[in-house]
Structure 1
Amino acid sequence: MTTAPVDPMLGRLIDGRYQVRSRIARGGMATVYLATDLRLERRVAIKIMHGHLADDNTFKTRFVQEARSAARLAHPNVVNVFDQGQDADMAYLVMEYLPGITLRDLLKDYQRLTPEQTVDIMDAVLAGLAAAHKAGIVHRDLKPENVLLADDGRIKLGDFGLARAASANTATGQALLGTIAYLSPELVTRGVADARSDIYAVGIMMYEMLTGEQPYVGEAPMQIAYQHANDQVPTPSSKFSGVPPELDELVLWATARDPEQRPADARAMLDRLREVEGAVRGVAGPVPELYQPTMVLADATATAETRVLQPPSAPVPTAVADPEQQGEESAALTARAARRKRKGYWLFALVLLLAGLAGGTGWYFGAGPGSLAAVPKAAGLEPAAAQALLEDAGFEVEQGERYDPEIAAGLVSGTDPGPGAQARRGSVVTMLVSLGPRILEVPDVIGQPQADARAALGEFAVADDVVQQFSGEIDAGAVIALLDGDGNALPADYPERGAITLVVSLGAVPDVTGMSIGEAEATLSEVNLELVQGDPQFSDDVDVDVVISAEAQNDPMRPGDSVLVIVSKGPDLVEVPNVITGQTVAEARAQLEALDFTVTSNVPEFLEGAVVAAKQSVAAGDRIKRGSEISVNF
């Protein structure tokens, strides 16, 4: 029995911040994982591009484009993008995590949806898409897999991996980007997409939701593409009779083969959807009896004759009536008229009340306290100023706290919901006051290779540039010390995201002792050290111009510092003078000792001043080592 391979990403810490927990989904371009943002202590979805695409600049560009496109949107029906970056050769994208299912999962479970469910979902999809179109972004890959249905009821549009800034005719660069079942005719035939291409995909999705199947099927993708380019999408009611005609018309409008015949953008289609929503839901109740018009029906036996249906309460006049009977009937008619009049007043008052409630509700949710408003940006403000700003925007404010490595303690770090998010006026916005950065224990990385040290210090801001230093104890490439932002030794505890500079070993200073002066200078120059030559010294053991000693001039030694070098002058030789001609032994002794020679003689000391030297053991003119012994005898 074989076991499935373990995903190497599980448990990995990405960029020193995101801890991968489990895999959510895998696509052709990237894999999505559930992760924990250790800095903000929240769950996120992290999308990691497949490793085999890392060297493909086209895929890399498209991957980064998704982050930039989605980051430009701030809408309740668009998945939020929090961060984007690269860890080694791995590109990643951090998004809002929405536990739930996709529209594709829903269709698999239920085959097709009711018109009311379709309207609910399409309202959210078109609202998010309208925000993208307003920002000049064409999604280009709309399909049920990219519509997220959260467990809490939120509906969001995601995966802007193929999104691109819109122009009059935005070329795709490839004829068939996106999923073939949802491609518009102009994408198939000309490889050109704009906002109306997204509308076509929305129409195909509506058809699929209402009927449980796609309009075009085939054994090969090109068969499906051919049908998109040459056929008109049928009405959903031709497949399922329960589809309202208003939704038939909307699908036909969205999937017109000619882009000019479609809605100009998602906002236009959304407005039309909301116009027909009441008819789809059947919320228009019966008209009150008082205001029902008189019905005029063609007589069954005459083509031109008509007859008027009388109200049930109207009396049928008789041919003959006595005055008493007429009086009773008149009183009854008067009473019925009064009742109808009172009923009319009540119905009129009810209509006015309902109209007032509708208007008040519309005002409340359109411009009043219940309307949506964008949460203003409050980060970096004093709490009092931020609270006033939020209250002026119509929100109630609660205060919270959180650590923030960038915002100083005591200032507002942010809000929940975040800036730009749409929220109801009168709803509560939490104002988060910064506690400053967390104070963390600095890991012991002394002696570790530079790459390992950087990984261990992931919660700090480690500078790209390092300080290089020579060390005879730490191997080259390993960390010698850590410096804070001011260049001082780093303490044991340090703020999160605090600036750290690594001091990295270059190995020991080269030993140039025993080298010629030229070799020593070249060796030190290779490691960016300067040779400074001191006064030469005599040496009996070291040849002339060979280095006797080398001494570092700084502690610690860094590139650009100097090394003091002493070279040999060779042995110290002195020329022996003639000391036996006309001199006493005492005079000869004095002359030789003045030259640092050691003098011996066979003449007693008390006679040296009287006896003339007869001979010397080293001939005059010879060069011998200073301090050598010379005998002066009689």
Structure 2
Amino acid sequence: MDTTLQDPLVGQVLDGRYRIDARIAVGGMATVYRAVDTRLDRILAVKVMHPGLAADGTFVERFIREAKSVARLAHPNVVQVFDQGTDGAYVYLAMEYIAGCTLRDVLRERGALQPRAALDILEPVLAALGAAHRAGFVHRDMKPENVLIGDDGRVKVADFGLVRSVDTVTSTTGAVLGTVSYLAPEQIEEGGRADARVDVYACGVVLYEMLTGGKPHDGESPAVVLYKHLHEDVPPPSATVPGLAYELDELVASATARNPEVRPHDAVALLAQARTARGALGDEQLDAVPPQALTADHDNAEDRTSVLPRSLTVPRTLPADGDGLYGPNLTSRLESPPLPPRPRARLPRRGLVTIVAAVLLALGLGVGVWYINSGQFTKVPSLLAQTEQEARDRLADAGLEVGKVEHAYSDTAQRGTVISTDPAPGSRIRGNGSVGLTVSRGPETVRVPDVAGYRLDRAKDVIEQEGLKSGTVTRTFSDDVPAGFVISTDPEGGTELRSGSAIALTVSKGRPVDVPDVVGDDLEDAREELLQAGLKVRIAEEQVHSDVDAGQVAQQSPGADAEAAEGDTVTLTVSKGPEMIEVPDVVGDSVGDAKDKLQGAGFEVKEDRGFFGLFGGDTVESQSVEGGETAPKGSTITVKIG
């Protein structure tokens, strides 16, 4: 049975604009539909929050936050959000429609990927996340289900529903947001900070999964997986895929370091490492088919997600425009079956003899060169991320000497571990040669300058000159520090910090002043009283009607007894006097009619029944202000009843 026929939204026009054609995905928070924008005549995806959650302010806030966050990212590798709105019980996002599949679909059908394909997917993902990180927020739910691969080969990151500001501290007490297989250790620990490095960790896990076809940590329950993320390193992919290049091991290790201080600080930094790793690999290493790769005729139709139910095994023509990173060749490499071999042309007998002779000659020369050089050369082993002593031991085991040892600062390598070698790992070197080491000093640290008592602009200059950044500025009252000067910093002066860290500043608003009450005072008297209190005065351009006389102060902002800083400005609004309105003539009317007329005109009414009125009279004999005259709005009109 077609489940879309049972969906009440299919066939409807949402918000008078979006015609819902088909349901294409269902999640725990929302349903995604293919729709047509009837105003612009284009196909798009509409993500509709489940009506049962629309009454929950927290879910609605998260839903709208996704729209606002992604709208800020005009990036080719981010699924764009076009519109956000509400139609009755439906809260929705109108988004870019991507025809294709998810990375999860690819992994289900293909298993482990060739390193080139894995990097072709990873790099645009990191480019998208890098744009988000530089814009100031974190995705926090990176996983293969949120990576879309279009039919045209474009890679897009979707579902920013858990996005948070880079500076947001996320407490994990109660429930952990995200998917357990991709959570960084600091997301699991109570009170952990979820900054850009949690996305870096998740991308490292995704890369591991693309290279090996499986997740690095498994268990019988989510709790077991969470425990392993906290207490076990992600293993090198080469432990599962023998022969995998060590550069890929290093890339995964860097991204998934359990200590976030050792990881690349954001996706931009990891993207640079990924490109460096790609550049160090040859075509044979990039195109090596892992033994975990599944056969091309594997179907898995029952396992595919409903997001993009296109078969991955549809034959496609390989494009003729080369190996562009974002071109259609990506899905072609993942999906196209091998082309059938062309029939070979039969060579003449003499040509065949010549070729055989040439091959034998080449083999003979190769064997001779190998025989002469065997035992004289060796490969420099991979020493990156090892301690200096471990590197020395490994060089000794390989029969190599330790050359010059240098030290350098590093934001990503742990103190005391090898950053680089000379020659580079994998290089051929004579058996008795030496290898130079560059060992990490850890992150470069600087001392926080003591800027208490500095003007704010000068304090910021001094902090930046020391290689730090000025962070949040909090203003508060101070009896001792003049307005605009720094009271304190966090951390305080003298603290050792990593270069580039942010310093929070507390700045004085000056001495606190109680604002006097000047409403009803003459304007000049009010001005003088405020100036004597240490405040500045501003007169509003517009005057208002008020109960106080014309020329007196009708309103003040801030109000009386509010706490302001010395030198703050108080705005005064001058009265035009009471608003004068015409009094209705109610003589001869019944008491009820008279009261309706006078109150409707804006007056209060007082009844004067006198002696005879006490015996049941109900007609107005006179009124304190005659009909047709004016009186202040809100004033009292007395009617005499006879």
Q: TM-score, with normalisation over the residues of structure 2? A: 0.45
TM-score (norm 1): 0.45
1 or 2 for the larger relative contact order (CA 8 Å, sep ≥6)?
Answer: 2
